Amino acid sequence: MKSFLKKQLFIAFLVALSTAFNSCATAQSSNNKQRYKVAVCDWMILKRQKLGSFALAAEIKADGIELDMGGLGNRPTFDSKLGDPIERQKFLDKSKELNVGISSIAMSGFYAQSFAKRETIVPMIEDCVKAMKDMKVKVAYLPLGTESDLVKNPELRPVIIERLKWAGKQVGKIGGVIAIETSLDATEEKKLLEEIDSKYIKSSFNFANAVDNGRDIVSELKILGKKHLAQIHASNTDKVWLENDTAIDMPKIKITLDEMKWSGWLIVERSRDVTQVHNVKANYGANVAYLKRIFQN
């Protein structure tokens, strides 16, 4: 009798173990199949190109991080660890260990530096593309910041187009995409992309740019269309959390993206509550949770 009971208990244990394993595997599979995934910028959570960005992203339940190439300053290229095979592997191992993906590799140094005038553009783009290839990341983020603002400096348009055509060829060699953020409205940005004429150069759409300039996010997304949209910075300038932001109708945006049949990464850059702007976990945890509630349920 005792032997029979032991056998039954052992079988029950195996069944429970199998159920738990399958449940975990199903959750993992479900996460991998999500149409929309939510990431945070590593530099905005104060973990610029640091291994700790993965642990913090996991803690606030983000699906991934936008991993920065590092600072520029007066260097000929980015101050990046990603060119070192040993250091790079640490990032890949940590990403796998914590199940936190890399949405894109960012060249955030161009927020302040000029993509149009910088003389060492070749090694910078080549270093970024190499990092993409080595880390199996398909998207690079390139903001055309204050020094290459095409609204304020339209005379820079020819050289920017020329450089982006070249950059498109480089990233095209690995089947990747460079997602640019401009200050243009969607109609003008679409014209710019059509003039560049490269399927490897697309848009990184930023909600904040639309709101700051009185543009309707939904209309802008429809104008750009699925073809030109590589990723979305799904946040506003700092004021309140996304869930409290009356300038952004997130459910309507979700319906629009569904209708466009777009899928990809939604990346939280800002939308911090100004009453607690330095509370990283509270701000980014709340915004990640809200985006997941809208886009993943």
Residue type, 159: V
Residue 26 has pLDDT above 60, yes or no: no
Question: Which of 1-15, 34-48, 119-133 is predicted least confidently?
Answer: 1-15
Residue 113 lies in a domain: yes
For 202, the enclosing helix (H) or strand (E) is strand 201-206
pLDDT, mean of residues 14-36: 49
In a domain, 28, yes or no: no
**What is the Cβ-side half-sphere exposure of residue 7, based on CA atoms within 13 angstroms?**
4
Looking at the structure of the chain, the number of domains it has is 1
pLDDT in tens, 30-86: 455 899 999 999 999 999 999 999 999 999 999 999 999 999 988 999 999 999 999
Is 285 inside a domain boundary?
yes
Per the CB < 8 A criterion, the answer to whether 169 and 176 are in contact is no
Evaluate whether 40 touches 284 at the Cβ level (below 8 Å): yes
Whether the pLDDT of residue 166 is over 50: the answer is: yes
Residue 57: give its domain's CATH number: 3.20.20.150
What's the maximum distance between 2 C-alpha atoms anywhere in the chain?
A: 90
Q: Tell me if 7 is assigned to some domain.
A: no
31 in a structural domain: no
Please list the residues that pair with 204 across neighbouring strands: 231
Structural domain span for residue 207: 37-295
The mean pLDDT value for 173-201 works out to 98
15 assigned to some structural domain: no
Band the pLDDT of 150: cuts 50, 70, 90.
very high
Q: Would you say residue 103 has pLDDT above 60?
A: yes
Q: Is residue 27 part of a domain?
A: no
Predicted structure pTM score: 0.89
More confident residue, 124 or 24: 124
Q: Tell whether 270 is covered by a domain.
A: yes
